[in-house]
Amino acid sequence: MDITAEMVRKLREETGAGMMDCKSALVEAKGEMETAREVLRKKGLASAAKKAGRVANDGMVGTYIHPGSKVGVLVEVNCETDFVAKTPDFQTLVRDVAMHIAAASPAAALYVSKDEVPADVIEKEKEIYKAQAAASGKPPNVVEKIAEGKVKEYYATFCLLEQPFVKDPKLNVGQLIQEKIALIKENIVVRRFARFRVGEEIVARGDAAAPAAVASE
């Protein structure tokens, strides 16, 4: 199948990837746009993984106030340089993350990442899941699989990076950030955040109010 300039342009607009990368992905995908997006995503994730160990100590504090001014969010997102922190791509990402946090349930996202969840919390959750599965008559090997699946659901509820991204549920927030790392060419880290809703208790995540998140400091 011939790869047209219009196909390359469209894929580039949708993904933000370079023209040559888009053309290469389309060739590999034999012109299938969805497959080409997946090709770019996989390459981007591999590229982002190489940058994960680099120090990210610049960045910005982003804000989002939901229409009606009843819900607001503060989020600190770090990158490697002040130059990148000032780019539209990075600032849009920070705003998208803040908007996602505002859209989440008030009880959700107690942690930035699943690495911050205390081991005793996970063990307690697993014991509850196992007891529930065993009580329903499931055999031991199935009980273990059910518990593991429930733990993944726990992470997807209470860990920001594991939550389905509100603007594109096919991605979780962590995958969104990985794609931006591949695009921006710098490591990006969500350090901490706080969600405020008029009339409810204020809970800050990623700082002293959530001890498990101190690891992200």
CATH code, domain with 194 = 3.30.479.20
95 with 202, same domain? yes
The two tokens of residue 46 are 């591999």
| Choice among 1-15, 63-77, 163-177, 184-198 with the minimum mean pLDDT | 1-15
163 with 150, same domain? no
12 with 42, same domain? yes
Whole-number Å distance between alpha carbons of 25 and 60:
33
pLDDT score at 47: 54
Give CA 88 to chain center in angstroms: 19
Structural domain boundaries, residue 22: 5-51
pLDDT score at 163: 93
In terms of phi and psi (left: phi > 0; alpha: psi -120 to 50; beta: otherwise), the region of 26 is alpha
pLDDT in tens, 83-102: 999 999 999 999 999 999 99
pLDDT in tens, 30-57: 888 888 888 877 766 545 555 556 768 8
